[in-house]
Amino acid sequence: MADTVDPRILQLASEYTESSNEKTPELLLQLKDIVKSAPAGSEELKKVKEDLYHYGLIQCCVLYLIQDYRLVNGGWMTAASLADILSMCCVGLDPQEEAEEFYSKLLPSALGNMLLLARRIQARYVRAMKEEDRGELFSSFRRVSDSLSWLFSGHIQLAKDVLRMKHFLQLLMTDDEETETVAMSVLQKVLRVDSSAPRQLDEDSLLAILDELVYKLSASSNPVIGRAATCSLLLMLESNPDIGQLVGTRYKGLRALLSKQWTGKGFGQELGQLLEVLYSSSYQQEDMQRLHKAACTIQAVWRAFLVRQRIKRLPKAVTTLQRSFRARREQEVNQLKRQREEEALRHQLQLNRVRAMRRFREKQLALLEIVHAGQMDKHLREMQERAALTIQKSWRGYKERRQFHKQKIHLAQYKAAICIQRAALKFLSKRRKIRETLTLWKKTDLSDERRQELQQRLDSHLHLHPTPQMSAEQSNELHVRAQEKLGQYLLKRSFHRGSEQRREALLAQINTDINMLMDAPGLAHVTEKDLDKFNSRSLPVVLKAKQSHNTMLKRSRWPWWRKLGDEFIEEDEVLLSDIPTLEHGALFIAGTKE
């Protein structure tokens, strides 16, 4: 219902309908505060995400991811923030009413738009010359990649779709080392989230990814790129054993290249695992070759047997072949004959049209010879008028068609406004009906007889239950008691307030002492600087500290039966004559250094 929706969502939805395309992304950034205001994992957060989806704000985020952000305030950082908000809203959202549309349309569209946005940021990062612009673009690219990883981690069925999309392959096929490292980290997260994703790929997509990883291992000398490509290739081989055989067959010198180029570069564990997998796959490949050779031998024997059987049936087959060849040749001859007849008929029709046109022109010339010379001007004027009318018709038709194309946009906007108004009126009528059904009191028109009957019932109830009367003395006495209780409450409130302030001051002091003691170094590492932190420059504080210390020492020597009472404070144990002999820092006086 509308009264349970967060008012910030309603306000944001109304502002979105009135905002322009350039300011809409900045407006959608307010969704982050709305989502973060609800506790994580709570029903309130789930309700907020469902309301955002119901009011179309999540769909707007998906659409505005592919906008050109060069003219938007904040640039590509705004786009990265919008992608982050979209992943936060989609993860954990499970709309029951529109589940099919959400899972089959919105999530794949959000995934594709995020990859397209990452590809655009990567392209601008590669072309950027200034170091500040490159830093901002790389930060945006990393945020979009993290949002993408968060999205398919929350919805595992999207992991296989990432590897199928061409924009992801374009992210991998770059020469920039920083962005390709981030792209390969996304590939590793996909393989960790769904290890069965490579099995569901078609052969072209799988070979394209493997070619790119092997190319990075062979062409790059950066250890970061080598480690990322090694981990990615290792995860793909572990996800499907058939990929190991494919890699061993397609890239025969890969093991030697890895051993020679990447040994001792700082990631020996991952490299060793990859070499072991490739070594085991090579043994499997040799077994497959032996099996393949045996299969070829069996096939050769079987084919030889079939050839010998075919040779025995060859005379009959030759007769059948000759019969079919002659029938096919006769069919081609008949078809060629029909084509020639059609061409001859077409040529004859064209000649007939040319002759008819020539006779028509000759007839026109004969008519012109018959017409009087004085009427030639009239005839030519009529011909010119007909030609002018034809030209005007053509021009007006072209002009109207051009005007119609211009009005097509306004017509589409008008139809869209009608659709929105119709939906809004339908929505308001539904809400009005729901509100009317839930209203407890409903206005009804009472008749005079019903009103008189209710008035009689009210009078009889008041007669049976009269209101108690109180005298003036009782009222004064009650007022005096109320004033006394109010005064007692005010006095106790000031006392409790002072006690609360003292309690807070003591707690603050205790916390300060605990922090100082926790941060203090050990006795073996104490310096004079550390001792100065625990010395006080105030004489009363030093006196009170020594007094409390002596009192606690004295109490520790008491017998057990004296410690059964309450806490005690003996403030007269320290003599005033001992004050000058106390060890303390110099007393701080305003206007002096010591």
pLDDT at 162: 77
pLDDT at 129: 65
Q: How far apart are CA 503 and CA 162, in angstroms?
A: 60
168's tokens: 């992801």
Q: Which residue has the higher pLDDT, 575 or 4?
A: 4
**Residue 197, φ and ψ in degrees, nearest 5:** -60, -40
Helix (H, G, I), strand (E, B) or coil at 263: coil
pLDDT at 518 over 60: yes
Q: What is the DSSP letter of 71?
A: S
Least confident among 93-102, 113-122, 428-437, 513-522:
93-102
Q: Which residue has the higher pLDDT, 204 or 591?
A: 204
Share above pLDDT 70 across residues of the chain, in percent, rounded to a whole number: 82
Q: How far apart are CA 159 and CA 150, in angstroms?
A: 11
The whole-angstrom distance between residue 339's C-alpha and the CA centroid of its chain comes to 63
Rounded to an integer, the average pLDDT of 296-302 is: 89
Q: How far apart are CA 46 and CA 39, in angstroms?
A: 10
pLDDT at 85: 78
pLDDT at 354: 92
pLDDT at 444: 63
Q: How far apart are CA 188 and CA 201, in angstroms?
A: 16
Candidate ranges 253-257, 421-425, 440-444, 462-466; pick with highest mean pLDDT = 421-425
pLDDT at 463 over 80: yes
pLDDT at 580 over 50: no
Contact 163, 207 (CB under 8 A): no
The tens digit of pLDDT for each residue in 346-405 reads 999 999 999 999 998 888 788 777 777 777 778 778 888 988 999 999 999 999 888 888
Rounded to an integer, the average pLDDT of 285-311 is: 80
The label of the residue with tokens 């729901």 reads: 434
Q: Of 148, 164, 244, 160, nearest to 196 (Cα)?
A: 160
Q: How many angstroms separate the first and last alpha carbons of the chain? A: 71
Least confident among 44-48, 95-99, 437-441, 498-502:
437-441
Rounded to an integer, the average pLDDT of 28-48 is: 76
Q: How many CB atoms lie within 10 A of CB 471?
A: 8
Rounded to an integer, the average pLDDT of 535-549 is: 77
pLDDT at 340 over 90: yes
pLDDT at 338: 93
Q: Of 201, 200, 197, 205, nearest to 167 (Cα)?
A: 205
Contact 32, 85 (CB under 8 A): yes
- Long-range contacts (CB closer than 8 Å, 24 or more residues apart) made by 54-58: 54/95, 55/5, 55/9, 55/10, 55/13, 56/13, 57/9, 57/12, 57/13, 57/16, 57/28, 57/31, 58/86, 58/89, 58/90, 58/93, 58/106
- Considering the entire predicted model, what is its pTM? 0.46
Contact 11, 63 (CB under 8 A): no
pLDDT at 336: 93
Q: How many CB atoms lie within 10 A of CB 321?
A: 11
